[in-house]
Amino acid sequence: MGQKITPNLWFDGNADEAVNFYVSVFLDGKVIATTYYPKTVEEGLADFQINLAGKVLTIEFEINGTSFVAINAGSEFKFNESVSFSIPCKDQKEIDYYWGKLTADGGEESVCGWLKDKYGLSWQVVPQNIEELMSRPGSFAKMMQMKKLIIADF
């Protein structure tokens, strides 16, 4: 059976741009389906959606085997760090790859392997064996000093 919960991500009119970015960063990324807003009020478009008439409404896409839905809407809601997506990486090269791609063009580094991409979505770029690394003496203090996680420094 497939995934039972699908994260829905609200974008401020740039869902198609964001999805194109994500499917380019994640090498297995793909668009599954796209829906569009109706073109007229008679077709069901609400008055407050007039500026979205005929534009992309949702895009279902998949990255790293996880399905997401991007909602193309307005500026009412913003991403924040209370929700993030973790990327377990097999080695430092993979950590460096995702860190570089996701912080590019306006993304922001945070601490402990966390970052925000240029759309404000939070990610945790971590080694697959983070639990083992964190069991080492002094590892928490070392991690707290890092932005991008460096496996050799644990």
Is 90 exceeded by the pLDDT of residue 50? no
pLDDT at residue 30 in the model:
98
Question: What band does 58 get if pLDDT is binned at 50, 70 and 90?
Answer: very high
Pick the CATH number of 8-72 from 3.40.50.150, 3.30.720.100, 1.10.645.10, 3.20.20.70: 3.30.720.100
- Dihedral sign for Cα atoms in the order 42, 44, 47, 52: negative
Q: Classify domain 84-153 at the CATH topology level.
A: 2,3-Dihydroxybiphenyl 1,2-Dioxygenase; domain 1 (3.10.180)
In the chain, CATH 3.30.720.100 sits at 8-72
Is 80 exceeded by the pLDDT of residue 1? no
Q: For residue range 73-110, what is the model confidence (pLDDT) as tens digits?
A: 989 999 999 999 999 999 999 999 999 999 999 999 99
Which of 88, 120, 87 has its CA nearest to residue 103? Answer: 120
Copy the structure tokens of residue 87: 């990327």
pLDDT at residue 31 in the model:
98
In the chain, CATH 3.10.180.10 sits at 84-153
According to DSSP, residue 63 is labeled E
Average pLDDT over residues 12-20: 96
